[in-house]
Structures are given as structure tokens and as C-alpha cells.
């Protein structure tokens, strides 16, 4: 049975959970939800980098990504930030759909599964 | 190669699928979709408890949770039930977004991945 | 540490990522987004069959499926195609919710995790 390690454990959720060599991250939103889609996406991806590092891995080992954006008109701007960030040759399986988020100010949320 | 065990197998989906030591549950909705958000969330979490037990595990080993609610105005009431239910110190990675569900009466659906 | 193999790797995402004996597929949409819900679902499931084969597995080993449809009025027609396709006795854990997709023409997107 693989061990479970939880990272930044809160009363409602953990920011990351490591099960064996699989790392599950929480859905990440921007710290500054007044930023535009470009800024929010940058903040989300920086936080994903930080959490992956805490879990002992990095973006070159992301397996799957689920992206939610509140308005598909922001798809291109989100993708521009994503494309510049993602590890070339190591891109994950990904799906992006439109959904409402926790508050109207949030424009993007990203949840990834990675290997370590 | 890890074994696959399916639980409560239907023609369309199984309620739970165990692959090695990872347990994938179906998206669970309330039995009584006339209940309010509090009642529906309680029913969903009770069903998750039941299915995790059938799979040989429990809520302290949930790795990841995806929650869909039909109206973010119910976020607080859903969270109140969740916070009282989740295993302290063992909270999963979680994301909650707004989405339409199978019928307008459903207010919440939760899908989890757990370890066993 | 399990190996990672990526299949049909693009600059933005890969179509499939194999981690040990777990296969993560991208969210799949129809090639011909002018098709109706029946045609789009058939195209999506055929592409999933193709990608699972490339990963060395097949639909009888799907563990989990996430389905997004843009209008719940299409739930029955999508399910009719799904029910005829899915491997009897080997149905996955599944959740279907309503969400906007990348362009208004897309009616359904499906993302699966399988064993190999």
C-alpha cells in the first residue's frame, strides 16, 4: 500500500496530496483576483510550480490538467500564458471547459495530477 | 499490472472502480433531489462513505475531490456540511466549480479519488 | 518511480499520457463539430478507442470518465451512444455535467483515465 503525504493541510482541503508516486493538486485560483486573465493565469501557474516543488516534482511531470475558465473569450489569453509555461515535449493530457468559479472575480482555475 | 475491481456495476457506469490501491468513485448526487443543499450534500457524502467502505477504504484516505454545484450561492451551505464531514488532518485536494447537473433538481455532485 | 510515456505530444497538450499502468487521455471533442450530438459522441468515442489502442489498452479498462455536454437536453442522445459503446461489465466510474466548451459548435467532450 502506497503512503499518503498531504501538503499545506487545511480544514477544508489540502493544497497537494501525494499517493505513492502520484501527486494530486487542489484546484488553484489566483491570489489577486482583480488581475486580468493573463495575470491570473500567471499566478495560478506560479502556485502550481510552488506546490509541485513542495511535492518533490515539477511541471515536466504533469500528467493531466483540468482548466476551468469563466468565459471562453479568455481561452486565447489563457493559452498564451500556458503555452509559454508548459514544459516542451512534456505536455499533459488537458481539458478546458467553461464554468462559474467561487467568486465572480476569478477568471481561471487549474487542477493538475503529476508524477513524482 | 494492477488488478481492476468494479463495484455496483451498471450498464452505463460503475459506482466505484478499484485499480491497484487507487479507488475511483462515480460522480454522486442525492437520492432525494427535492432536499435542499444541506440535505443533498449530506446524502452525497453518506453515499461516498458507503461506497468507500465497499471498496475497503474510508474518507480519511480521499486524495482528490471534484465538486459541482449548480449555484455558487450554495457554496457556503455545501462547505458547512463538507467541513463537518471531512477527516481532520486528512483533507483531500479539492476543486469546486459551478455547472448544470443531470436534472434541475440536483444541487450538488461530488466525485472523489481515494487510496485504499 | 513509474515511467511516463506521452503520446501525440503537442505544444499545448498531449493526447495521452501513460504513467506506470495508468493512462490519462486528454479531453476529446469531435473532429467534425457540425455533427449532431449523436455524431459528435460517436466521433469522440472512436478517438478514445484509437488513443487507448496507442497506449496499449482498450475501453474495457477505463477507470473513470468525465463528460461535459453543453446542453442537458442532449443527455439522452449522448447516453444512447455511450451505452452502445461501453464494455458490458466493465463500465467506469462516470460523471456528466453541463459546461461551455471551446467553441459553441462542440456539444460534448469526454476525458477518461484507464488502466493498461
pLDDT, tens only, A61-116? 999 999 999 999 999 999 999 999 999 999 999 999 999 999 999 999 999 999 99
SS3 B98: strand
pLDDT at A20 over 80: yes
Read off the pLDDT band of A1 (50, 70, 90): confident
Give me the number of domains chain B comprises: 1
Task: Give C97's strand partners.
Answer: C68
Contacts of B92 in chain A (CB under 8 A): 13-14, 17, 24
Task: Give B111's strand partners.
Answer: B66
CB atoms within 10 A of CB A60: 16
pTM over 0.90: yes
Tell which residue, B2, B1, B8, B7, has the closest CA to residue B22.
B2
CB contact under 8 A, C92 and B27: no
Q: Which chains share 3+ C-beta pairs under 8 angstroms with A?
A: B, C
B22 — phi, psi (to 5°)? -115, 135
Read off the pLDDT band of B1 (50, 70, 90): confident
Q: What is the pLDDT of residues B14-57, one digit of tens each?
A: 999 999 999 999 999 999 999 999 999 999 999 999 999 999 99
- Show the DSSP H helices in C65-108 as ranges: 75-85
Q: Which of B92, B95, B97 sits opposite A17 (nearest CB)?
A: B92
What CATH number does residue C96 fall under? 3.30.1330.40
Q: Which chains share 3+ C-beta pairs under 8 angstroms with B?
A: A, C
Residue numbers of the domain that contains A48: 4-115
pLDDT for position C26: 98
| Reported ipTM | 0.97
Q: What is the pLDDT of residues C29-87, one digit of tens each?
A: 999 999 999 999 999 999 999 999 999 999 999 999 999 999 999 999 999 999 999 99
Amino acid at each position: 500500500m502506497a503512503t499518503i503525504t498531504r501538503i499545506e493541510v487545511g480544514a477544508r482541503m489540502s493544497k497537494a496530496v501525494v499517493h505513492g508516486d502520484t501527486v494530486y493538486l487542489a484546484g488553484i485560483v489566483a491570489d489577486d483576483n482583480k488581475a486580468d486573465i493573463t495575470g491570473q493565469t500567471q499566478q495560478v501557474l506560479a502556485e502550481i510550480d510552488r506546490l509541485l516543488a513542495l511535492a518533490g516534482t515539477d511541471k515536466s511531470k504533469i500528467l493531466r490538467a483540468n482548466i476551468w475558465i469563466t468565459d471562453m473569450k479568455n481561452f486565447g489569453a489563457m493559452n498564451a500564458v500556458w503555452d509559454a509555461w508548459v514544459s516542451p515535449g512534456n505536455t499533459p493530457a488537458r481539458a478546458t471547459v467553461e464554468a462559474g468559479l467561487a467568486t465572480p472575480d476569478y477568471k481561471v482555475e487549474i487542477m493538475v495530477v503529476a508524477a513524482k
